Amino acid sequence: MPVSSEAFRAAMARLGAAVNIVTTDGPAGRQGCTASAVCSVTDSPPTLLVCLNRSSDSNAAIKRNGVLCVNVLAHHHDTLSSVFAGLLGHEDPAERFAHGRWETLVTGAPVLADATVVFDARVAQVTEVGTHSVFFAEIEAIRTDPKAGALFWFDRSYHRLPVA
């Protein structure tokens, strides 16, 4: 008997993850969304994978723009995460980017100025799996803030991890 989608989602809620805002900019415009399905693939070349729902406006924009930035959120970014998740009624990308201070590095994708770490990247490959696209992104630039804590998602709620 296969595992149900509901059972899988309930189990995944118990797998904690960093909270990220994945952004892009280019010919398809500026977009961003909250994501927790991000992890390293290899350090040679430095590559991350990012999983996004195929129905997301950000998914289509990243495919067309060919660039993305993973902004790892600091412990005080819970409201910003909710904005980019569309939980506070900010559906228009311009409204979302009105929150926070945004810059750019190499690719032109928006970089959150006070993120814990940012990975500015070019999309090297996309694989479609079920309802999601898996983006393999080669890192062009990294910026870290060693004083920033982290925002973590576990058991369907935010948890703050301050720097010790």
Cis before 146 (ω within 30): no
H-assigned helices in the chain: 5-12, 57-65, 78-84, 93-97
Give the start-to-end residue ranges of the domains of the chain: 18-146
Q: What is the pLDDT of residues 106-142, one digit of tens each?
A: 999 999 999 999 999 999 999 999 999 999 999 999 9
pLDDT attached to residue 114: 96
- According to DSSP, the residues that pair with 132 across neighbouring strands are 53, 129
pLDDT band at residue 1 under the 50/70/90 scheme = confident
Mean pLDDT of 35-43: 95
Residue 148 — φ and ψ, nearest 5°?
A: -85, 140
CATH of 18-146, one of 2.30.110.10, 3.40.50.2300, 1.10.260.40, 3.20.20.70: 2.30.110.10
Query: What's this model's pTM, rounded to 2 decimal places?
Result: 0.93
Label residues 48-78 b or e (16+ Cβ within 10 Å = b).
bbbbbeeebebbbbbbebbbbbbbbbbbebb
pLDDT attached to residue 142: 98
Average pLDDT over the chain, rounded to an integer: 94
Label residues 107-129 b or e (16+ Cβ within 10 Å = b).
bebbbbeebbbbbbbebeebeee
Q: What is the pLDDT of residues 52-86, one digit of tens each?
A: 999 999 999 999 999 999 999 999 999 999 999 98
- Kindly state the tokens that stand for 55: 């129905």
